[in-house]
Structure 1
């Protein structure tokens, strides 16, 4: 069961942070769409040819550029930071500060509290990605109306981004449920997602380090397969399963663990 009062309170407490990240990500997405020019990307590709930066530019196509920039760096890193901050504040930070003790002193069950917090985090990501997708869709028609763009691939990129963030948020939420201290929650809940991001980025930048990215869960968001007709169903399902399993485990751990109440 969910608690509407707890959900509203959580929404009120986190709305400013959510708005900041959503606005920044949406603005970056719109700017990248607006400034895209195939000839410019080709010129840049020539300038950085035979350097590690060449791998970051991707193909000289609209979606190829977005897949290496927004869907490879900004659109992944920014929501990871949002997830880390929010997931910790939802459970571990409240236990650490003692506010969780006050909340659980009411007739509200632990299961209701932790489930409501999980639903808030997932919902915040869904709405965030939806806003970015709609803004991007509108911007494509405004700024790139004369460019042939496979919109199905564009929507699949956004779906893949959400599934990656869903799985990433489950990691941070799980450790927020496991630990009673913020420092421990952040050490694991921030350390693992950031390590995954950096390993994937290093593998993309330097071909000699390519194997590193396959250690990262982020490699399951295979933008190359999406844009080139590859099979990415298994990867998408894997991200969804990771998210469901870790959210479920986190909820179970919090319900059964000893709390300093």
Structure 2
């Protein structure tokens, strides 16, 4: 890895990292501040119990909302967190590799003493660092915001950290296959399209598996099935360690494959 290049490329991504993190943290603080009002004035579980079971499963409401952890898992980590992280992984991976090739900027990087392997490895670390920073800042927002807005909060910070850990590793994996496509393709639009279609297809399979018993087999076709937010915060998530190790290994394999492909392929420079 080239540290100078890493520092420069991370600075080019900083605005997106800061913007996405700020959106998540502010919304997180909003939901935390509203939690006492929601629990005291609204019987939210009674409302959700009247919904069809398939719809409750889609929302991640199998166990109801009994704590701040449950509220955050449903209103942030089942929707906003997923879509913001999807957007960041797809666009950042494209900008860091195929965008530079498509615009001719990669030629300038490869003209430096850094080798192709160093350039590609550095870009992979920049992408992973961006995913980590957004996840870390979101975690920090919840940990600092809870005592700031609520006295004696009803929540489990350890399970909240576990939730963010699984979220980070899930999107580390998603960023790894986006990086692979970006290393393989010269056309920025094709990279964006393929990465976006595959990621949305994975998300659609997960939703279909939750809604329909006939489509339950689709949960084995998507990494999103590993991210069961309310199960994690409720302490009912099985094989936590196995899931973490599997996502880390899969991500390392795909990132390594992307670097190898980039090193060997002919580039239109």
The match for 1:228 among 232, 235, 241 is 235
List aligned pairs for 1:11-30, cutoff 5 A.
11-30=10-29
Give the distance between the partners of 1:76 and 1:248, measured in 2 at CA: 25
User: Could you tell me how far apart the structure 1 residues matched to 2:18 and 2:114 are?
Assistant: 29
Contact 1:225-1:232 at 8 Å conserved across structures: no
Cα distance in structure 2, aligned partners of 1:121 and 1:57: 29
Shift of 1:118: 0.9
2:267 is aligned with 1:254: no
What TM-score, normalized by structure 1, do the two folds share? 0.90
Go from structure 1 to structure 2 and tell me whether the alpha carbon gap of 1:234 and 1:225 turns closer, same or farther (over 3 Å shift). farther
Secondary structure, counterpart of 1:260 in structure 2: coil
Greater length-normalized contact order (CA 8 Å, ≥ 6 residues apart): 2
**Distance in 1, Cα, partners of 2:8 & 2:28:** 30
**Shift in Å, 1:94:** 0.6
Report if aligned partners of 2:32, 2:149 keep a CA contact under 8 Å in 1: yes
Gaps of 5+ in 2: none
Q: Tell me how far apart the structure 2 counterparts of residues 214 and 15 of structure 1 sit (CA, whole Å).
A: 35
Q: Deviations over 1:125-159 (max 9, x none)?
A: 21211111111012222334334322211110011
The question of 1:183 aligning with 2:189 is answered yes
Residue equivalent to 2:51? 49
Match of 1:60 in 2: 65
Paired residues of 1:18 and 1:124 also in contact (CA < 8 A) = yes
* Stretch of structure 1 that moved more, 8-17 or 197-206: 197-206
2:198 maps to 1:192: yes
Deviation at 1:167, TM superposition (A): 0.6
User: Does structure 2 retain, via aligned residues, the 8 Å contact 1:3–1:113?
Assistant: no
Q: TM-score when scaled to structure 2?
A: 0.88
Deviations 1:220-259 (A, max 9, x none): 2233542234332222221111111101111111111111
CA RMSD across the alignment:
2.0
